[in-house]
Amino acid sequence: MNLKQVIQNKTVDLTNKYQEKIHFSGRIQPHGVLFVLKEPELTILQVSNNTFELFDIPAKTLLNQNLSYFLDRDQINKIRKSLENNPELKTINPVKLSVKTKHKSLVLDGIIHRSEKFLILELEPAISEESISFLNFYHSVKEAASKMQDASNLNNLCQIIVEEIRTITGFDRVMVYKFDAQENGAVIAEDKIETLEPLLGLNYPSLDIPPQARELFKINLLRMVVDVNYQSVEIIPVNNQISNQPIDLTLSILRSVSPCHAKYLKNMGVTATMFISLLKNKKVWGLIACHHHSPKYVPYELRAACEFLGQIMSLELAYKENNEDYDYQLKLKSIKSQIIEEISTSENFIDALVECQNKLLNLVSAEGAIIVSGDNFQSVGKTPPLITVEKLISWVEKNFNQHFNQEVFYTDSLPKVYQEFEKYKDIASGLLALSISSAQRIYILWFRPEVIKTVNWAGDPTPITEVEPNGNIKLSPRKSFELWKGIVKLTSQPWKQCEVDVALELRNAIIKIVLKQADELAKLNSALQKSEAGEREKATQLEQTLKKLKLTQTQLIQSEKM
């Protein structure tokens, strides 16, 4: 959806939601304590304002003190030794720490990372005094990993991961949530307790997860909310004493969530959550979403196991997803080879493309295509009127430059992004545009017709707004998640990645063939020029010989006269 949404005759500016700096919230969840430290002294520059509840020491008292103010020598040595052995912090966590106060003894997990030039130490409850051994960790994930690798297809893989994560963690519900090209999400696998209504098959609009949150999912692969009804704890002072800026909490497990997200979870009836990122080609493919209906804390060791399985899942889903269309991909490559063969034996590749009409359409499962060469347009199959193509080409060229690479542009909702084509929705709701040569304006445009479909949404996806006391209109979390059926129009079947890929392969092949033909022509031209030069040289030599003969003849005549 666009940053401006027109709702109930009012324009709602969503920019503020999209620009909310959730990683600079300056607040944490209350189940742990956060310290911002200066190295190497381990001086406390900032601290969460809840140390009294845990250590019986006011937070302000700890500012500018060394960690040794409340940790004994053995604990400080543990931290320093861990830092010495793991300067990059890749294998440092967790550091098991013991803290004794007047009233209690605590066993804590120390979670360490760096933010900018500062060391962040987060303390949270530990399940044991000893770190889990590598062997125990291996056994805890081995069976689940084996099942995932043996999964026959993507659907089975997703079902296995939700069952395994729920077994490990005990959440009421675990789902795999997949994003589409428009960043809407769909529940494609689910494991839950019997008393809960299923969410499998429901869709969630892209606005439920703002862009900056999606970016954080790429960096911090696991997020957890222990109790959505918590009162967040401020970090004091707000600005770091050295940088004079709020501390960046991107990698913090304790970071407080956005108030809008907390309200969203409450509206869903969810009390605790955990999300694990699923990445493909460095993009967020989806999430493993865990829900619980009462407060739930997942200790570090279990979170590490879940995050590890999420990473295995990311590797496997790329492989499984690519194999889903394996037979179809083979078919497309065969069609591409046939087209290339015809082009390579033709004097003009554009004429060859027009001649293999059905193959050109079948290459990307389109119903129409237009081949553009300068001011010349040739159509194949069902296409919009050629008179409309000039403006479409200009619009596509802008999109090549602004949003995509210089070679391909595709959309399954052309009338929504280029409204002049709404009248041609039955023919051109989908567009795949391939640039062969932008300088010579050579393009191939493929079209797909509209496919009207029903989408099951988890509640009405229309953005809800609230009017603030100052009169500003802001986005509000959805209150209802009951099944809401929506009719989707002005869209075609989406273009598969393998279709986009084979179109690009055709482009590269055409360029190679044209370059080869140009090279051969250049060689012929060079040979012709050499031949002509040789003939000219022979003519010159003959002319010089004739001149010599004439001179000799003249000299002979003169000598006879004498």
Mean pLDDT in consecutive groups of 10 residues from the start of the chain, 562 residues = 37 51 92 96 97 94 95 94 91 91 89 95 86 71 92 94 96 96 91 95 87 91 97 97 95 93 90 97 95 96 94 92 86 95 88 92 97 92 92 86 73 94 95 91 95 71 59 53 69 93 94 72 60 64 60 51 50
Q: Please, are residues 339 and 356 in contact by the beta-carbon 8 Å criterion?
A: yes
Output the CA torsion sign for 257, 158, 221, 210.
Answer: negative
Per the domain annotation, does 59 fall within a domain? no
The Cα–Cα gap between 358 and 366 comes to: 10
420 Cβ contact partners less than 8 Å away, ≥ 6 residues apart: 388, 391, 392
| Domain-located, residue 391 | yes
Q: Which two tokens stand for residue 258?
A: 């956005």
Per the structure, the count of domains in the chain is 1
* 108 is a domain residue: no
Alpha carbon of 520 to those of 228, 441, 507, 525: distances in Å?
A: 71, 24, 20, 9
Find the domain containing 377 and state its range: 327-452+489-514
Instruction: Round to whole Å and give the CA distance between 479 and 477.
Output: 6
Can you tell me which residue has the tokens 């063939």? 513
Instruction: Name the nearest CA neighbour of 44 among 54, 29, 53, 33.
Output: 33
Q: What are phi and psi of 150, to 5 degrees?
A: -85, -5
* Residue where the block lists tokens 């409450």: 266
- Residue 440: give its domain's CATH number: 3.30.450.270
What's the rounded Cα separation, in Å, for the pair 301 and 305? 6
Instruction: Report residue 243 CA to chain centroid gap.
Output: 32
Q: Give every strand in the sheet of 442-448, ordered side by side.
A: 376-381, 368-373, 442-448, 430-437, 408-411
DSSP assignment letter at 41? T
Give the number of other Cβ atoms within 10 Å of residue 478's Cβ: 23
Please report the pLDDT score of residue 206 as a whole number: 86
3-class secondary structure per residue, 59-83: HHHHCCCEHHHCCCHHHHHHHHHHH
pLDDT at 252: 96
Say whether pTM exceeds 0.85. no
- CA 377, CA 390: separation in Å to the nearest integer? 9
Residue that the structure tokens 């900056």 belong to: 212
Residue 521: the pLDDT is 57
Residue 401 is assigned to a structural domain of this protein? yes
Query: 240: part of which helix (H) or strand (E)?
Result: none
478 contact partners, CB below 8 Å, separation of at least 6: 208, 264, 267, 459, 460, 461, 464
For 83, what's the count of Cα atoms within 13 Å in the CB-facing half-sphere? Answer: 19
The answer as to whether 446 is a domain residue is yes
40 assigned to some structural domain: no
Q: Print burial letters for 308-332: b (CB count within 10 Å at least 16), e (below 16).
A: bbbebbbebbeebbeeeeeeebebb
Q: What does the alpha-carbon distance between residue 232 and residue 27 come to, in Å, rounded to a whole number?
A: 6
347 neighbors 341 (Cβ within 8 angstroms) = no
Who's near 502: CB < 8 A, 6+ residues apart?
329, 332, 333, 335, 336, 363, 364
Alpha carbons within 13 angstroms on the beta-carbon side of residue 352 total 17
Residue 439 lies in a domain: yes
The two structure tokens encoding residue 3? 């940053």
Q: Calculate ∠ Cα 459-463-465, nearest 5°.
A: 120
- Distance (Å, whole) CA 554 – CA 515: 58
Q: Residue written as tokens 């595709």?
A: 410
Tell me what pLDDT residue 102 has.
Answer: 80
Phi-psi region at 120: left, alpha or beta (left = phi > 0; alpha = psi -120 to 50): beta
User: Residue 215 corresponds to which tokens in the numbers above?
Assistant: 């970016």
Give the N- to C-terminal CA distance of the chain in Å, as an integer: 109
For 514, other C-beta atoms within 10 Å of its C-beta total: 16
Q: Is 435 part of a structural domain of the chain?
A: yes
Task: Please report the pLDDT score of residue 469 as a whole number.
Answer: 63
- Reading the block at residue 373, the tokens are 């060469």
Residue 534: how many CB atoms within 10 A of its CB?
10
3-class SS letters over 204-230: ECHHHCCHHHHHHHHHCCEEEECCCCC
Beta sheet of 95-100, edge-to-edge order: 27-28, 233-236, 43-48, 33-38, 118-125, 105-115, 95-100
